[in-house]
Structures are given as C-alpha cells and as structure tokens.
Chains A and B, each alone.
Chain A
C-alpha cells in the first residue's frame, strides 16, 4: 500500500515537473553578417531580437536561445552547411532568417528531411514556398508589390505606357514580370524592359535612364535590390531632368527603403512606390514598434521592411512555441499552427495563407515628401489582404 502511494506521488511529481519545467528552445537564425549584405542581416536580427525582448514573458518561463550563423555569400553552400550544423549538431527546433533566395532554396531539402519548421523572414523569390511543405514565409514575394504598382499606375496615375528597368537577377525579373502583368491587365502597355547590371554593384544608371527618357513613357518602373543601389536611381532620375520631361518614377518599396531614404536626398521627393511596409505608417502598432526600435537601437536607427520581417518572423516563432504547449515541436504541428495564423504586425494585419504557407498582407502605395528636412513617406492608398499573384496565376515555377 505504502509502495503504491509513494509510486503515485512520484508519478505525480514527475508529471508536474514535466509541465512546469522551463524549456530552452533553440532557434537557428541564418543571415548575412559580413560582406555586402551585412547591413540587411543586421537589420533582420535586430527586428527578431526586438520581438524577443518585448515579448519575453509570453512564453511563460520558456526561453529562446537564438543561434546566429553568418550566410556570408548569396550562394547556397555556406548557408546550407550552417543549416546542417544547426539541425544535426545544435539540434535547433526551428530554423529562421535568410536574406537571399538562393540560401533559402538550398536549405529547403534539409528542412524537409529533418522535419524542422523553417520560417523565411526575407527571401522573396515567389516559388520558394513550393520547395518544402515545412516552409512558411512571413516577409513578402516580389509579386505582391509589383502587381499592385502596375494596376495603380494604369488606373490612378494616368500612365498609358511604361518602361521597366531592373537589376538583372531573379527577384528583378519577378518584380518587372509582376508589374507588367498588373499594368497591362489594367489597360496599360509596357513598351520596353531594360536590364541594368547585376545585384553586386550599383551601376552608372545614366545610359539606361537616358534610353527611357528618349522613349517618353508615362511611368518608369524601377526595381533595384535593397541596399546601396537606390540612391543612384533617384540621383540619376533628377540629374537627367526626367520628372520635368513628364516621366514618373515608380517602383516597389525596395527603391525607397527606410534605411536608405535619407541618403537619397531631395531627388527622391515625389517618387511613388508600392510596398508592404514603410516606417512612417500611422498605425498605433507601427508607432509603438518604431518607438521601441529607437529606444533599443538609438534615435538615429530606423527599422525598414527587412527589420519588420525579422520582427514578424520572431512573432511566428513565438506562436509555434506557444501552440506546442511545452510538447515537442514538429514541422507538422508548427506549420499547422502557422496556417491561418493572424497577427497585428507593425505593417498591418498579416495572415499565413493555409493553402500556400505564404504571407497575406496589405500593400500600401506611398509617396515620398519632405518634412522639416527629413524625407518621409505618405500613404496614398491601401490594398488589403494581398495574396501572392505568382502562385494564384500559376506563373512559371510558381505553377509547378
């Protein structure tokens, strides 16, 4: 009898310990921390860490150990070896981060085999989510902004013709393809499409822009990667006097990235972009977010869409952990929890599409203006709950 009772007590105690014991959940985070894209990786990590700091209590005693690995170059091998090490040696339960699409692509088969959920916080090539059932994306696809910008340019800006100029690599091609689809669907005509060098170095844009000016389109849609290309775009546009010639400069928000905006100078004033985030969004969520960001990283630091990707990505990671309720995190349960997950992000309400595991979010058309010597962006129009058109229309590899 006594034995029986102690046995019961012991069993009870063990059960209690199992539920109450605080767990440390290892989360792998892969981002460029050196080289040309280090600033993007830094921005994303800051976003992720800010969410962890502000919501530490939400996990009820559990803690997250964020293990950061430097993806260094855009190609696959270094990020892939880092992912293998994180999964096989560090035994991370969740993998996240990733700025470059090729990094995400190379990691996809690994997370399928290891049954580890993979939360993509930036990489925007549209078809990536198709590569593994264990991928969910909380950032964007190139199609979301491009398609909307095309529609808006034709319907609201009175552009009958347009030319697109793009950095010649897959996101650039994605972006201009989306623009053309939206623009021509709404009755416009794209009369030329100009590749403008590769992503590594910002080229001299003058010859490309001169060609555009000579053809006099209503709108000039430009895609350049986030980072140091954008300043050159605005400056060339101004120095060639294209605005006076009646050519409107438009693009996805990559060309007015918040962290680059002030460096672009007055040349950027008047530029219209479509994007899922800019730091001047006047929602309470965003204002609180920007305030917390500046409190954590200094008044001069500003979040941009990459930072929000990290922030929302970490929110998704928290959601996975919370919905596991102390149990084991598997890819099935984690991705299952993320499907249809809803979150009030600084960028507005976001959902993960249960069918495609892709983000559904607002896209804002905004214009750059000057206010007390600072460049800001003013929201002109909101498009709500925008899905990825590439997968909806089954274009190219999105349709396979």
Chain B
C-alpha cells in the first residue's frame, strides 16, 4: 500500500465520519427563513407554502435521492395527509397537531400497503405504478365530492395550536412558525435517517443493488421502510399545507403536484437534502413572482421557469447545489 492510497482511504473514512456533523453553514437556510418572516409580511403565505413544499420535497428526496426510487405519484401521500387533517377539522376535530399526526399515520399506512406492490417492480413499471396510485386517489376524491368538496374544495378551521396560538388567516404569523417548526423536525428526522447505517445502506442499494443482496442486506425491507418514512413525512407536509391555509381542494392529489415537486427536487439537486430547500424556493419564486416584474400580458412565468430548467439540466446536471461541489472539493483538498 502506497502512502497516497493510505491518505485517500483515510480521507474517505474521515469524510464519512464527519458527514453527520453539523456545520455552521447549515444554519444559513434557517436564518434566511427567520429573516423572511420579518422582511416580507406581504409574501408570508407564499413563504409558508415554500416551507411546507420544502418538507414535501425532503420526503421525496429520501426515496428518489437516497433509495433511487423515482416516483411520479408522491402527491398520493401528501394528499392523503392533507385530506385526513382537513376532513377531521371539517367534522369537528379541530385540534391541529393530533390531526397532523393522524395524517402522518394514514399516509404512512398508504405507503406501507402500496409499497408492498409498487416496490416489487423496477424503473418504468415502478414509475407508472406510482403515477397510477396518484391518479386513482385523485379520481376517487373527485367522485366523492360530497365528502371531499372535490374540485371546489372545502374551507375549514382549526383550533389554536396547544390552545395558545390561533391560526392567522391574514398575516399567517402562527401559521408560518407552525410550518417552520415541523420543517425543522422533519428535516432532523430525514437527516438522521440518511446518516444512520440504514441510510447508508439505502445509498448502497441505489448504487449497486446486487452487491447489497450479496452482502446480506434485506433490500426489499429497507426499501419498504424508507418508503413508509417518506410517505409519513409527505403526509405531515400535506396536513400542514391545508391547515395553514384553512382550505383544501383535489389539487393536493393532482399529478402536477407530484410532477412539480420532482422537478423542484431535481432543480435543487437530489440526494443531498438541501437540494429541496434551493429547488423549491427558486421554482416557487419564479412561478409566483415573475409577474410582479414582467406583468401578466403576456404571462412570462412558464417561459422563465422553462428556461431555468433547461439551463440547469444543461449546465448543472446535478442540480443547483451540485454547482458548488467542485468548488468545495477544491477548497477541501487545499486545506488538507
């Protein structure tokens, strides 16, 4: 063994060891989120929506970025959590946190049941099945519109959080911190999962499934577990999405919801958790605020979003965060 390989081996091991440690720069997104609250009260609902979508994208990143399960039907879980929370509130169960917890349970259950079938397949078949699940639930919610409100949706109210902080339907104060708190929580859960041996084995499955079989990893079980975790987190995101807005429509099950969140994740970069933060924020801001600069005659936002996506795919195939990878690597090498 030469000295050079020993050093790189040592470097790789050290990199693995320090991967789970918090770095100072990880405070940056949270600092921005806190600043946005105070700086842009007029965009607070939009900002709240961004926080919730980040949580949704993180849950998708667990299966797409880490386990390599590409899904075009993740809104199935988002929508199930959302409808659980909304229908409970509509029926009189107005306590938000327990409704949210139940949303996580129903979405997780759906993930467990559907994962049983979906995860037996691979690649295109799997993609089609995830999509099919989303479409089935969408049609179901549409047809049961006496209960779900269907296309028009329903408005409902939640009681104050912990009996102390009522939801604010105009300035979204409590609503913002509610979404913020659960984003922090969801992020910490996801971060723990991906840095645990469980998460490392998922990466192994993604990179070389045969080898993981060969060394005795219960591949199928690991996939199903992460699928349930991702589904439950998506359910939490869905529940918060409707609770902070006090309104639900079948839009939560729409294919666009599944498609857009995947695009946002890819835009930011998969398999790195923070990609969700960047992708969702950039996409949502381009989608919603293009018109405040360029007007609505004609509406340019689709063009702007489209160009941003094409440019990203061409010049930053690993997502917007991936752009920084070579820089960081060079910086590390120099400092080492």
Contact = CB atoms under 8 A, between A and B. Distances in A.
B90 interface: no
A92 B37 CA distance: 21
A102 B249 contact: yes
Contacts of A81: 43, 45-46, 49, 288
Interface stretch (A69-77, A151-159, A236-244, A249-257): A69-77
Contacts of B250: 75
A74 B296 contact: no
Interface string A167-178: 011100100000
A84 B155 contact: no
A84 B301 contact: no
Contact of A168 (B40, B142, B296, B299): B142
B40 to A, nearest CB: 8
Given A75-B251, A76-B153, A113-B170, A70 B45 contact: no
A68 interface: yes
A226 to B, nearest CB: 15
Contacts of A90: 42
Nearest to B247: A106
B245 interface: yes
A101 B15 CA distance: 54
A109 B247 CA distance: 9
B315 interface: no
A88 B44 contact: yes
A355 to B, nearest CB: 22
B242 to A, nearest CB: 9
A33 B170 CA distance: 25
B42 A77 contact: no
B249 A75 contact: yes
A108 B299 contact: no
A351 interface: no
Nearest to B296: A33
B155 A68 contact: no
B169 interface: yes
A336 interface: no
A348 to B, nearest CB: 28
B142 A110 contact: no
Contact of A70 (B153, B169, B249, B299): B299
A87 B168 CA distance: 14
Contacts of B249: 74-76, 102, 106
A87 B143 CA distance: 35
Interface string A198-221: 110000000000000000000000
B247 A34 contact: no
Contacts of A170: 145, 150-152
Interface in A268-310: none
Interface string B43-66: 111100100000000000000000
B297 interface: yes
A108 B246 CA distance: 11
Interface in A74-117: 74-78, 80-82, 84-85, 87-90, 101-102, 105-106, 108-110, 112-114
Contact of A34 (B41, B151, B153, B302): B302
B46 A106 contact: no
A173 B250 CA distance: 16
B172 interface: yes
A398 interface: no
B51 to A, nearest CB: 13
Given A70-B301, A89-B43, A102 B153 contact: yes
Interface in B281-332: 287-288, 291, 295-299, 301-302
A106 B155 contact: yes
Contacts of A74: 151, 249, 251
A77 B171 contact: no
A25 interface: no
Contacts of B152: 101-102, 105, 125, 169-170
A38 interface: yes
A169 B142 contact: yes
B256 interface: yes
Shortest beta-carbon contacts, A-B, top 4:
A89-B42, A75-B251, A34-B299, A169-B151
14 contacts: A33-B291, A69-B296, A72-B301, A73-B256, A75-B251, A78-B287, A80-B245, A81-B46, A81-B288, A85-B42, A106-B155, A108-B155, A109-B169, A109-B246
Interface of A: 33-34, 38, 68-70, 72-78, 80-82, 84-85, 87-90, 101-102, 105-106, 108-110, 112-114, 125, 131, 168-170, 173, 198-199
Given A33-B298, A73-B251, A110-B170, 4 more contacts: A78-B288, A101-B151, A102-B151, A102-B251
